[in-house]
Amino acid sequence: MADPLVALLENPLRPRILLVGDVMLDRYQWGDVERISPEAPIPVLRVSREEHRLGGAGNVGAMLSTLDARPTLAAVTGDDHEGRVVRRLLEELGIDSRCVIPDPSRPTTVKERLLGRSQQRYPHHMMRVDRESSEPISESLAARLLERLGDCLAETDLVMVSDYNKGVCAGDFIPRLVERARAAGVPVIADPVVGADYGRYAGCACITPNRTEAGHALGTKITTPDEGLDAARRLLDFGVEAAAVTLDRDGIAWADRRGETRLFAGRPRQVSDITGAGDMVLAAIGYAMAAGADCATTIEAANLAGGLEVERLGVVPVSRREMLAELARASHTTGHKVLSIDQLVGELKRIRQTGRRVAMTNGCYDLLHPGHVASLEEARKQGDCLVVGLNSDRSVRQIKGPERPIVDQQGRAQMLAALACVDYVVIFDEPSVEGLIDRVLPDVLVKSDQYAPEQVVGHKTVKAHGGHVVTVPMRPHYSTTRLIEKSRTPPSGPTAGTP
Could you say which DSSP state residue 381 is in?
T
Amino acid identity, position 459: H
Identify which of 355, 347, 274 has the alpha carbon closest to the alpha carbon of residue 49. Answer: 355
- Active-site residue (options: 248, 250, 279, 393): 279
How far apart are alpha carbons 203 and 241 in whole angstroms?
7
Determine whether 279 is an active site residue: yes
| DSSP helix/strand/coil, 229 | helix
β-pair type (385-391, 424-428): parallel
User: Could you write out the DSSP letters of every residue in 300-353?
Assistant: HHHHHHHHHHTTSSS--PPPHHHHHHHHHHHTT--GGGEE-HHHHHHHHHHHHT
H helical segments located in 331-469: 341-352, 370-380, 393-400, 409-417, 434-440, 459-464
How far apart are alpha carbons 255 and 232 in whole angstroms?
5
Who contacts 324 (Cβ-Cβ below 8 Å, separation ≥6)?
6, 9, 10, 336
Element (DSSP H or E) covering residue 19: strand 16-21
Burial of 273: CB neighbours in 10 Å, binned 0-12, 13-18, 19+? middle
- The beta-carbon contacts of 123-126 under 8 Å, at least 24 apart in sequence, are 123/30, 123/313, 123/355, 125/273, 126/33, 126/43, 126/45
Burial of 316: CB neighbours in 10 Å, binned 0-12, 13-18, 19+? buried
Who contacts 368 (Cβ-Cβ below 8 Å, separation ≥6)?
412, 415, 416
Other beta carbons less than 10 A from residue 449's beta carbon: 12
Helix, strand and coil content of the chain, in percent to the nearest 5, comes to 40, 25, 35
Residue positions annotated with a catalytic role: 279
